[in-house]
Amino acid sequence: MEMEKDSMKSWWKEAVVYQIYPRSFKDSNGDGIGDLNGITEKLDYLKELGIDVIWLSPVYESPNDDNGYDISNYQGIMKEFGTMDDFDRMLHAAHERGIRIVMDLVVNHTSDEHSWFVESRKSKENPYRDYYIWREGKDGQAPNNWESCFSGPTWEYDETTKMYYLHLFSKKQPDLNWDNPVVRKEVFRMMDWWCQKGIDGFRMDVISMISKVSGLPDGAQQENGYGDFSPFVCNGPHVHEYLQEMNREVLSKYDLLTVGECPGVTTKEAAQYAGFHTRELNMVFQFEHMNLDNKNGKWNDAKTDLVELKEVLSKWQTELMGKAWNSLYWCNHDQPRIVSRMGDDSEKYRELSAKMLATCLHMMQGTPYVYQGEELGMTNMPFHSFYELRDIESINAYHDLVDDGILDHEKMMRYIRCKGRDNARTPVQWDDSDNAGFTTGEPWIDVNPNFKEINAKEQMAREDSVFHYYQKLIKLRHEKDIIVYGEYKLLFANHPSLYVYSRTLGEEKLLVVCNFSKENQTMELPDDFQGKDVQVLISNYKDIEVRKELILRPYEAIVIMN
Ligand code: GLC
Ligand code: CA
């Protein structure tokens, strides 16, 4: 067992990743937009936090219909973010500090302004025609009934050749045709070019969606008349074949961290995508735990049920054990802030619940991802006006639902405050000066008004801050094999307010107890932790007493080791 464990060790299993959304991280030149030099300025901050890897959301040339997830040149840097020299300087400065850089790879689609698409739409005979997915209309209508992720049909009619092209996201994000071997070759060549530059891995955007079922059949009709494309798009017929090819052609030649964003992935599929022996990716981002409060579609204010959350996360922990590797996340640029979502962002409980949530996630098996500002307990944004919104998803959904009278303005804004992606995209709060120290200019999106209370400068100076708590969690993971490799077991599965689990590695055992409520909760300490000299590894309260009858205070988290 011990032997087997050692041969299964990898740096990316022991690493903690920090996601940067460059537009909102740090502006270095006063144009209101975060940039590469801003990131370089803040590398010492990240070093102090203790993270090992940065995942950089897209920095490539882009017309920014979807903030860089619509790429017009994979080998150029977005003007607003700087130059390739700035990139090289940043990469070098990160490496000097022992921090690796993982790039976002967005290859399910390109921008419609990418030269491949500009060519492709010119004529049916164009050599780039088959780089994309073109179809004839059906009875003067779109080729099928699919609804795009950003509202409206997935098909755009193109006058020039009188055909439709497929776009699962915005119409400025045409889907690449992965069934075309030339497309795959081009993508692999581009990836290799970045690897040659010395980058350390890829986060692969909606990679589970690159292979579509042939025939592109209609999806089950939803209330709004559109069809659901997921069964024909997620984990499609050739996705594993294409990823194995990518692995052979590029990934296997370098020492990389690879993580696939995989909408619709199940644990069974994940064991293939991220299996220890399947030669595809290192790990996937799954969505099951993020979708528990989205059961009736995205736009609502439903809350996550803790018993269901435990069930889902425990399933991922136990079903991948020994087979594949998990990624662990609460937040990213597409999700609202976790402290507002599953914690309590009131002044009284904000820090306690942010630390509790962090404990719950960081003690699990898998590679943890921290999204910028999460380490400060940044909260959702009090958006009230449509004009404050920047995200194409929220803007399109607003038009769809409010303009057509399905929801009223107040309700939609409440849902956006709960679920909208812009919650994660307000600028990082560095200090209590103007615009939270993010920019000396006019920020591209408003700063959260709570920056005077929540900011990095204040937290770095205060020992019991959320920042220092994350720092400690990261350090513990680096020190203790059991946190990285230990086996997970859920306890008290049906308790409505406590999330309790153990980790076991050889003789060592760890107990993680998290109170997700603002009431006291009582719990009997499991036998293996009773009557022993237990050590408290970390806790978000000061005066802790470990006894047989454990009383957990509001949002208390405690990790003990026997
Ligand atoms: C992924 C990205 C999201 C983007 C979409 C289309 O889900 O994380 O931000 O809008 O793909 O590229
Ligand atoms: Ca700038």
Is 352 in contact with 517 (CB distance < 8 Å)? no
Helices (H), 29-114: 36-41, 43-49, 84-96
SS3 content of the chain, % helix, strand, coil (to 5): 35, 20, 45
Neighbour tally for 90: CB within 10 Å? 23
DSSP reduced 3-state for 495: coil
CA of 185 to the centre of ligand 1 (A): 23
Q: Is 106 in the pocket of ligand 1 (CB under 6 A)?
A: yes
Q: How confident is the model at residue 1 (pLDDT cuts 50, 70, 90)?
A: very low
pLDDT digits (tens, 9 = 90+) for 483-500: 999 999 999 999 999 999
Active-site positions? 205, 261
Q: Sign of dihedral through CA atoms 302, 303, 308, 313? A: positive
Section 397-423 average pLDDT: 97
Atom of ligand 1 nearest to the CA of 169: 6
Atom of ligand 1 nearest to the CA of 332: 8
For atom 12 of ligand 1, the residue with the nearest CA is: 69
Q: Is 205 in the pocket of ligand 1 (CB under 6 A)?
A: yes
For atom 2 of ligand 1, the residue with the nearest CA is: 205
Instruction: Provide the pLDDT for residue 75.
Output: 98
pLDDT digits (tens, 9 = 90+) for 337-359: 999 999 999 999 999 999 999 99
pLDDT digits (tens, 9 = 90+) for 507-525: 999 999 999 999 999 999 9
If you average pLDDT over every residue of the chain, what do you get? 97
Name the DSSP letter for residue 35. -
Among all bound ligands, the one having the nearest atom to the CA of 174 is: 1
Name the DSSP letter for residue 219. P
Instruction: Provide the pLDDT for residue 2.
Output: 45
Measure Cα distances from 290 to 154, 273, 313, 332, 373 in Å.
24, 20, 10, 11, 19
Q: Quickly list DSSP for 433-445.
A: SGGGGS-SS--SS
DSSP reduced 3-state for 396: helix
Cα radius of gyration rounded to whole Å, the chain: 23
Sort residue 431 into left (φ over 0), alpha (ψ -120 to 50) or beta: beta
Question: Does position 296 have pLDDT exceeding 90, yes or no?
Answer: no
Percentage, residues of the chain above pLDDT 70: 99
pLDDT digits (tens, 9 = 90+) for 58-97: 999 999 999 999 999 999 999 999 999 999 999 999 999 9
Q: Which distant-in-sequence residues (6+ apart) come within 8 Å of 346 by Cβ?
A: none
Section 324-332 average pLDDT: 98
Atom of ligand 1 nearest to the CA of 263: 7
- For residue 85, the Cα-to-chain-centroid distance in whole angstroms is 27
Q: How confident is the model at residue 6 (pLDDT cuts 50, 70, 90)?
A: low
pLDDT digits (tens, 9 = 90+) for 23-64: 999 999 999 999 999 999 999 999 999 999 999 999 999 999
How far, in Å, CA of 556 to CA of 538, rounded?
11
How far, in Å, CA of 377 to CA of 364, rounded?
20
Section 239-261 average pLDDT: 98
Q: First-to-last CA distance in the chain?
A: 21
Instruction: Provide the pLDDT for residue 3.
Output: 40
The two beta strands, 257-261 and 283-285, are parallel
Name the DSSP letter for residue 264. T
Question: Does position 432 have pLDDT exceeding 70, yes or no?
Answer: yes
Residue from 205, 233, 395 whose mutation best tests the ligand 1 pocket (most atoms within 8 A of CB):
205
Q: How confident is the model at residue 240 (pLDDT cuts 50, 70, 90)?
A: very high
The structure's pTM equals 0.97
How far, in Å, CA of 13 to CA of 67, rounded?
30
Atom of ligand 1 nearest to the CA of 168: 6
Q: Is 206 in the pocket of ligand 1 (CB under 6 A)?
A: yes
Among all bound ligands, the one having the nearest atom to the CA of 371 is: 1
Instruction: Provide the pLDDT for residue 7.
Output: 59
Residue from 110, 169, 392 whose mutation best tests the ligand 1 pocket (most atoms within 8 A of CB):
169
Q: What ranges make up the beta strands (E) of 46-124?
A: 53-56, 60-61, 73-77, 100-105
Instruction: Provide the pLDDT for residue 315.
Output: 98
C-alpha neighbours within 13 Å on the C-beta side of residue 475: 11
For atom 5 of ligand 1, the residue with the nearest CA is: 69
How far, in Å, CA of 150 to CA of 393, rounded?
5
